[in-house]
Amino acid sequence: MRGPHNILRLIRTGATLERTGAMGVVLDAFDAPKPLRVAARLLGWPFKWLGYNGDPAVPPAPRALTALGPAYIKFGQVLSTRPDVVGDEMATQLRVLQDKLPPFSVAEAKQMVASELGVPVDTVFSEFSEPVAAASIAQVHKAKLALTGETVAVKVLRPNIEKDFRKDIDAFYFAASLIELLSPSSRRLRPMDVITHFEGVVMGELDLRLESAAASEFASNTAQDDGFQLPEIKWDLSSRRVMTMSWADGLPLGDNDALDAAGHDRVALSERVLQLFLQHALRDGFFHADMHQGNLKVAPNGDIIALDFGIMGHIDEYTRRVYAEILYGFIRRDYKRVAEVHFEAGYVPNDRDVDEFARALRAVGEPIFGMDATRISMGRLLSYLFEVTERFGMETRTELILLQRTMVVVEGVARSLDPKMNIWNVAKPIVEDYIKTSIGPRAFAKDLGKTALVLARFGPRLPGLMEQLLIEQAQGTPEPKKNPARAAVLWALVGAVIGGGLVAIVEVFF
C-alpha cells in the first residue's frame, strides 16, 4: 500500500489547502518565511483542481482539514489548543474540529447499534436522540435506557472509518519515507517510527472495547482525586463499535463566557487541569492523552469531567522517575543535575560534554522563570530546543511522543482559561510530592520488596535446585563453573527468600 500512488494524496493535500483558501491562512498563522510561501504556492496552485472543495460555510482551515480526512482532523484538534502558536482567530476556528463535525444519520447509527448489540434499538433505549457531538472518529447520541430510565451517552464509530484512516496513515508513511530519503539528517528523529507509534495509538481508538477498558482502569486510578469525575461505563451495552456510558452534565471547558456566567473560577480550573494531568502521568503512569476542550466539561459543582478515552498514555516507572527528576531540576534551576539525568538515562550520548549540555539547558530554562504566558514565545522556545537536541545527538523517543504531545495540548487548554498561568509554579507541588514518594528510602525499600517477591516465586523450586547443585559439587561435576550464571541465580533466589522478611521490615520503618 505504501507506494508511489501516495504522491497523489500528498499533492492533493496541498491542492486542497489552495482550493479552500486555507494555504494563505495557514502560512500567515505560522508566520512562514517568504521562500516557504513561494514554494508552497508553486506546489499547490498548479494542482488546485485536484483539491477537495469542502464545505464553503466553514472557515478555510477547518474546511480543508475536514475535507482531507480523520488524520488531518486530529492534527487540527491539537493546533486548536495553541493560540500562542497559530493565533487566537485560527485556534477559535479549529475548535469546530473537536466535536462539531458533520454527523452521519441517526438511521445509520441505530443500524450499527442494533447490529453490534444484537437487539433492536427500541428494545434497549426508550429514547435515542440526534447526534449531540460528532468528532473525527465517532459521534455521540443522548439516549434513555428503557429498563431504568437512566440517561446515557451512546458513542458510535463512523461508518468505514477504519478504511478512511488507513488511507491517511498510508500517505503519512510514504511522506515519512521520502523525508528520510531526501533528508538524511532527519533520520535521528525516526519519522517512520513516529508514524508507526501514531498508527498504533489511533487504531486502538477504533476499538471501543479497548476504550471502555481504559475508562474503567482510569476511573479506578482516579477515584480519590478531588475535583475530577468520569462517566460510568455500561459494559452490557458496549462492544467494538458501540460504547455506552452514563450521561455527564456540564459546561464545555472551552466556553469561557459560559464558565464566567456560571461563576466558575477559571484560574483554579486552569491549575487543576494541568495538575491532574501531571498527577496521572507521574503517580499512575496512565493518563488521558487527548485532553482538548472538546473532551473536558465542568460539572455544576466545579469538578472537571473527562470524556473520550480512546487515546490513553502509559509510562513505565523508571521513565516517570527520570522525567520527574528532569522537571524538578528545571523547577530548581539545577541545570547540571538535569544534564546528568539525561546522560544517566542514555538520552544523550556519553561522548558529549555534560557541562556544555547543562549550559544549553540553562539557555532554554532561564527565560521561562518570572514570565507569564503572554511574554513567552513557544515557537522560539521549541525552535531552540530542536537546535539543542540536534547538536547533542538526542534521538526522538517514540514511546514518549504521546506524553509530549499531551503536555502541549494540556498547557494550551490551561492557558486558554488563564493566559497568565505560570506552568512551573503550578507544576511544582505535584512534582515535589512525586519526588518525595518515589525517589528516596521508602521508594528504594518498595523496589527491593517487589524484586524479592518476583524472585521468591521460584521458592518451591529451591530445594530441588539446591540438591542438584550440591550433588554436582560433591561429584566434582564442572557444570557450575561452565555455567556460573545458573549458580549465581540460585544463590540470588536463596538470598531473596531469606531477605524478603528483612525488606518488609525496612519498608514498614521507612
- pLDDT (tens digit per residue) in 233-290: 999 999 999 999 999 999 999 899 999 999 999 999 999 999 999 999 989 999 998 8
Residue 229 lies in a domain: no
pLDDT digits (tens, 9 = 90+) for 27-46: 777 666 676 567 667 767 77
Question: Which residue type is seen at 241?
Answer: R
Q: Give yes or no: residues 404 and 479 share one domain.
A: no
* End residue of a domain, out of 46, 65, 99: 99
Q: Which domain holds residue 259?
A: 251-438
Number of helical H runs and strand E runs in the chain: 25, 10
Give domain status of residue 462, yes or no: yes
Give the whole-angstrom CA distance, residue 445 versus residue 500.
11
Q: What is the largest CA-CA distance in the chain?
A: 89
- For the question of residue 353 being annotated catalytic, the response is no
Same structural domain, 43 and 72: yes
Are residue 366 and residue 489 in the same domain, yes or no?
no
Q: Are 285 and 319 contained in the same domain?
A: yes
- Check whether residue 364 and residue 428 sit in a common domain: yes
Residue 149 lies in a domain: no
Last residue of a domain, one of 99, 117, 141: 99
Number of domains in the chain: 3
* Residue 13 is assigned to a structural domain of this protein: yes
pLDDT tens across the length of the chain (510 residues): 555 667 777 788 888 888 888 888 877 776 666 765 676 677 677 778 778 888 888 888 888 888 888 778 877 776 776 665 677 777 777 877 766 677 899 999 999 999 999 999 999 999 999 999 888 888 999 999 999 999 999 999 998 888 888 888 888 788 777 767 765 655 655 677 767 776 777 777 789 999 999 999 999 999 999 999 999 999 999 999 999 999 999 999 989 999 999 999 999 999 999 999 999 998 999 999 888 888 899 999 999 999 989 888 888 888 888 877 877 787 788 889 888 988 888 878 888 899 998 998 888 778 766 665 556 544 455 455 556 766 777 765 655 666 777 887 888 888 889 988 877 788 888 888 888 777 666 666 676 766 766 666 666 766 776 677 677 767 765 554 455 555 555 555 555 545 554 444 444 444
- Residues 481, 396: one domain? no
- Give dist(CA 93, CA 58) in Å, integer: 9
Residue 136 lies in a domain: no
Q: Decide if 233 is inside a domain.
A: no
Which member of 84, 168, 170, 290 is catalytic?
Answer: 290
Q: Which residues contact 19 (CB under 8 A, 6 or more apart)?
A: 48, 49, 51, 52, 53
243 belongs to a structural domain: no
Regarding whether 434 and 358 lie in a shared domain, the answer is yes
Q: Model's pTM, two decimal places?
A: 0.72
pLDDT of residue 81: 61
pLDDT at 369: 67
| Cβ-contact 152, 244 below 8 angstroms | yes
